[in-house]
Chain A
Amino acid sequence: MTDLLQLTFSGLTTGAAYALVALAFAIVFRGTRAINFAQGEYVMVAGVSAGALHAWLDLPLAVVVAVVIVVGALCGVLTELVCVRFVRRDDPHTVTLATIGLGVAIKAVALILTDRKAYTLPGFSGDTTLHLGGAAVDAQALWNCLLVVLAAGGLAVFLRAVPLGVALRASADDAEMAAASGFSRRAAAAWSFGIAGALAAAAGAGLAAVSPVNYDFGTLLGLKGFAAAMLGGLGSMPGAVVGGFAIGLLEAWFSGYVSSAYADIVAFAVLLVVLFSRPTGIFAAVRVERV
């Protein structure tokens, strides 16, 4: 029982990060119909720069988190500049391929700048452990879940009540029509990538507080976040949150009860099962193309 509780909390901690990344995938997919493979690298950039900022400048934690969220948003805007504007063709296929190239490049720059060093953040409320039903769990799990609640809630309000958010929804629904009424596809893409970057950065800060992060930790994480987005239904916001936590929990339970060596495979096994059996995911948001 204490095992289960402990595993569940560690599942929630990483699951929250997957949920944030999956939300970011959803936003970009809705705004551009492309899949942003540089996503995982934003998480890495945010995690590493949070750790580095904390180590060099000794800034208060809240400031560090705020700064890296801005950094993440800038990464997102950079992606739009490189993968949509520079490439000059805005079909989703080309943009998706370009994000793979950009992701590889971002990771390479991080490798050179950090020289393979790993960085950490302290827990958001120190190294507090909570004692629940005989299990000692890291309080960071709750912080990470709170980040998801804030992000998902904020997005829900933003997309419904703020004019810009409403325009984004309109563009996701019918890009031509939205463009005709003054909200261009370019604008939709830029905002979507920017928001996605900020979301991924929150995930990065939350993860750096749990374990050391280095230039290499973003790729696999991004791909797992993508699996989470697919499980929930690509483009669906509630789906992204559910998918993220589901993958995090499955992974944690699998590593506790079956094998920790193979735990990384869980997310991709889920991805394949979803693609082969129900490509629209749990909350179908888009029509899937089948032969």
Chain B
Amino acid sequence: MSERRATVVTLAVVAAGLLVAPFAFNGDYEHGLLVGVCINLLLLTGLNLIVGVAGQISLAQAGFYGFGAYTAGILGAEAIGPVWLSVLAAPAGAALVALLVGAPSLRLRGLYFTMASLGAGVVLFLLFGRAVSLTGGPNGLLGVPMLEIGGIVFDTPLAMYWLAAPLAFAGLAFAGWLAASRWGLAARAAAASEPAAAVAGVPVFRIRLALFTLSGAYAGMAGALETYESGFVSPEPFGFFAAVTLLVVLTLSGAGTLLGPVVGALLLFGLDELLAEADDIRPLVVGVLFLVAVQALPQGVVGAISDRRRARRERRQARPETATETETEAVTA
């Protein structure tokens, strides 16, 4: 299967899944969970751009997610501008923050970039909890209104789903296109060997900055959806643990692949469902899963499967040559 055909087939399967899901899982509670899957899909697709495509490990995604959630929440609660505008302001604001963070941090490489992204993420998280007059502090932000766009009120989880699902799908499709485009290729080349890419004329820094900014926009959009889905924002879901969880799930499912974020969003969903009754065990499961992922599946589930398929294909193609080799051996013997 050619790469382009694989992309199209993957996207078609995801689209079909998103279309069928709300009918297969009917009910307000189930629809709410599905909105959650779409939000996680956006978060992971965005994270995949900087981690999977550009090869720069970021721990700032949870902070950008929170920035989007609070931007939408504060604009909505204070009734600054129309409500629909706050949904656009969230990704724009988070992208701007990502740009400001990325401009100095992406000058650093490897672990040093990760550390800078971690610092920025922690600063954002602390601000959510401490800027009480703006965010409501640890008690959370109250008074988020119902989302209304052009006369349509998104007052049920199903309505929110029909907003979130197309956005998540568009996000995935765009990321898929971008990863296969010349910019995506250039970013991959730079991840594989930075000097080689730079010598070949790839503007490494600018491409990474663009991908990081974009990952912020995805997180911001996810934040706005989360805010209007739950009608409430508190700092807790945007901390260090959330940043680590996102990275774990992406690593485990397959960073750098189109299907990775999809598998990851389902994995998070499964994790949430499985551990719904046992909140205290969740961090333990995430921690152990992470260690196992790093040990056994350095390329994630999707990467491991495609590796195995490639290996099988290569074995099949290699067979005739093996035969000639044995023949030559027989002759020389």
Contacts and interface: CB of A to CB of B under 8 A. Distances in A.
Nearest to A104: B287
Contact of B112 (A101, A112, A275): A275
Range class of the A interface residue count: 35 or more
Contacts of B122: 220, 223, 268
B241 to A, nearest CB: 7
Interface string B231-261: 0000000001100100010010000000000
A105 interface: yes
Contact of B248 (A88, A101, A106, A223): A101
A103 B294 CA distance: 14
Nearest to A289: B109
Contacts of A82: 291
A262 B130 contact: yes
A106 B126 CA distance: 23
Contact of A100 (B105, B112, B123, B290): B290
A269 B120 CA distance: 8
Nearest to A107: B283
Interface string A264-291: 1100110110011001000000001111
Contacts of A100: 244, 290
A273 to B, nearest CB: 10
Interface string A76-112: 0000001100111100111011101111111111011
Contact of A290 (B109, B281, B288, B290): B109
Interface in B278-319: 280-284, 286-291, 293-295, 298
A87 B118 contact: no
B108 A279 contact: yes
Given A107-B283, A112-B284, A291-B194, A272 B290 contact: no
Interface residues of B, number: 45
Contacts of A230: 115
B115 A271 contact: yes
Contacts of B280: 108, 111-112
A264 B291 contact: no
B140 interface: no
Secondary structure of the A contact surface, majority rule:
helix
For A83, A96, A105, which residue has the most chain B Cβ atoms within 10 angstroms?
A: A105
Contacts of A108: 280-284, 286-287
Nearest to B289: A101
B96 interface: no
A104 B114 CA distance: 17
Contacts of B282: 108
Contact of A96 (B111, B126, B132): B111
16 contacts: A35-B115, A87-B295, A93-B111, A97-B57, A104-B241, A104-B286, A105-B288, A106-B287, A230-B115, A261-B130, A265-B126, A265-B130, A268-B126, A271-B115, A275-B104, A276-B116
Given A108-B287, A289-B112, A290-B107, 17 more contacts: A35-B115, A87-B291, A87-B294, A96-B111, A97-B57, A97-B290, A98-B294, A101-B286, A104-B241, A108-B286, A223-B122, A264-B126, A271-B119, A272-B119, A275-B115, A288-B108, A291-B107
Interface of B: 57, 104-112, 114-116, 118-120, 122-123, 126-127, 130, 132, 194, 204-205, 240-241, 244, 248, 251, 280-284, 286-291, 293-295, 298
Interface of A: 35, 82-83, 86-89, 92-94, 96-98, 100-109, 111-112, 219-220, 223, 226-227, 230, 261-262, 264-265, 268-269, 271-272, 275-276, 279, 288-291
